[in-house]
Amino acid sequence: MRFNTKLLHGSSNVKNPQREILPPISQVSAFKYESMEELEKVFQHKSMGYAYTRIGNPTITAFEQKINTLEGGTGAVCCSSGMAAISSALLAICESGDEIIAGSGLYGGTIDLFHDLEKLGIHTIFAPDMSPKALRPLINEKTKVIFGELISNPALKVLDIPAVSALAHEAGIPLFVDSTTATPYIARPLELGADVVIHSTSKYLNGGGNSIGGVIVDGGKFKWDIEKYKALSEFKKYGKAAFIVRIRTDIWENLGGCMAPLNAFLSFIGVETLGLRMERICANADKLAHALSEFPELSVDYLTLPDHPYHEYVEKELNGYGGGILNFRTGSKERAFKIINSLKYALIASNIGDIRTLVIHPASTLYIRSGKEEMEAAGVFEDTVRVSVGIEDPEDLINDFTEAVRSSIE
């Protein structure tokens, strides 16, 4: 099955009770049973069944199975947001005294989370460069995980998953990849060697900008050393599934960050058009990046531009696509604001992955809590504009942006 067929027909092992073509929205908190014995069996995991939506719900299961199929995992758990997914995944294996190695050009919320984890005694080392050569000396016996974004938002650095996963595995640690901006349409991190893939489903997977969510997918191939990963010791009997079982029946369930059933449904129908949307979004972004490059006043950052530092990864790792995010520098904050304010179609909004084109000035919004150094490591400067390209007609988008830029120069 190819990608677009798989999107529609790939996880049909979920049988809907009345043969509905879509999973019904089980908008309930709890599920009722005929006898106490039956419910007892569900709690003992001796029979399949749902008890309470924080722990499981059929609409959420349907979405989990769809994403799991797309990424080629052994199991997936949906969360209330991308941040809930990242925090649950990390807290499933890290405890006080442990270290995380992470990229420096990450999503601002993830950087903030790493700062919060310091208060729990979990220390993050930010690697300015995620090459194996730069990472190797940062690994020590306290390192529990390497965390990176496949295409970092908004820095547009590409993680060399085959090389970094080989290094991580040599050291006995897993590689967790946030693939929100790449999506399984562009690349599948588990196939490239990553151990766990995480998405904010709020972005491209949902696509319509109508619900917040996250998902953790376990590749199920990593050999967990139970001596090293003490948090997994109770789950040893599950072997290679120890991580996902620890998440589902333990940390995620107890932190309480489940996805809402209605959001699971909206994201389920949203993801079915992922292939079509990404095809159009990437083509639009490529055209817009080339059009904006014509202005000597701007410096444009997009992966398919020939002078981009990560250009070679477009063919090597991203199936020829550059993704939906492009950034450009304007020379000053004033000009950045002026351009943004005169756009007719692009919406000023703090999000990415919508079918509508969205723009933002990251320095005065997403990075307001970061230091200058951290911000610049994430590719964000005082004059940077981030664009999340949508599916509008490319001619209209190009006209909108080029007119806005022209009017800012006059």
Ligand X SMILES: *Cc1c(COP(=O)(O)O)cnc(C)c1O
Residue numbers of the site for ligand X (CB under 6 A)?
81-83, 107, 109-110, 149, 153, 178, 180-181, 200, 202-203, 212, 214, 352
Q: Residues of 51-67 as b/e, b for ≥16 C-beta within 10 angstroms?
A: eebbebbbbbbbbbbbb
Nearer CB in complex with ligand X: 158/212: 212
Residue nearer to ligand X on the CB measure, 122 or 215: 215
Q: What angle do CA 325, 329, 333 make, to 5 degrees?
A: 115
Cβ 149 to ligand X, closest distance in Å? 5
Closest approach, Cβ 214 to ligand X, in A, equals: 5
- Looking at the chain, how many residues does it have? 410
Least distance to ligand X from the beta carbon of 162, Å? 20
**Between 82 and 270, whose beta carbon lies closer to ligand X?**
82
CB of 348 to ligand X, least distance (A): 17
Nearer to ligand X, 78 or 101 (CB): 78
In the numeric block, which tokens belong to residue 182? 């790449």
- Judged by CB, which is closer to ligand X: 151, or 298? 151
- What is the C-alpha end-to-end distance of the chain, expressed in Å? 53
CB of 211 to ligand X, least distance (A): 9
Nearest distance from residue 153's CB to ligand X, in Å?
A: 4
Q: What is the DSSP letter of 248?
A: I
Please list the alpha-helical segments (H only) found in 102-228: 108-118, 132-135, 161-170, 183-186, 189-192
Contact 162, 192 (CB under 8 A): yes
The beta strands (E) that lie in 150-268 are given as 175-178, 196-200, 214-218
Separation CA 250–CA 247 (nearest Å): 5
Q: What span, in angstroms and rounded, lies between the C-alpha atoms of 345 and 22?
A: 33
The residue among 203 and 248 lying less far from ligand X, judged by its C-beta, is 203
What separation in angstroms does the CA of 93 have from each of 35, 38, 110, 217?
Answer: 37, 33, 17, 15
Write out the two tokens for 305: 């531009």
Q: How far apart are CA 390 and CA 343, in angstroms?
A: 14
Judge whether 266 and 211 are in contact, CB under 8 Å.
yes
How far is 291 from 196, CA to CA, in rounded Å? 37
Nearer to ligand X, 154 or 220 (CB): 154
Cβ-based nearer residue to ligand X, 224 or 367:
367
Position with the least CB separation from ligand X: 82
Give the HSE-up count for residue 369: Cα atoms under 13 Å, Cβ half-sphere. Answer: 10
The distance of closest approach from Cβ of residue 85 to ligand X in the complex, given in angstroms and rounded to an integer, is 8
Helices and strands (DSSP H and E) totals, the chain: 17, 12
106 vs 242, which CB is nearer to ligand X? 106
Shortest Å, Cβ 137 to ligand X: 26
* CB of 302 vs ligand X, minimal distance in Å: 17
164 or 242, CB closer to ligand X? 164
Neighbour tally for 13: CB within 10 Å: 7
* Shortest spacing between CB 151 and ligand X, in angstroms: 8
CB 60 within 8 A of CB 85: no
User: Which run of H or E residues covers position 348?
Assistant: strand 347-348
Cβ(7)–Cβ(65) below 8 Å: no
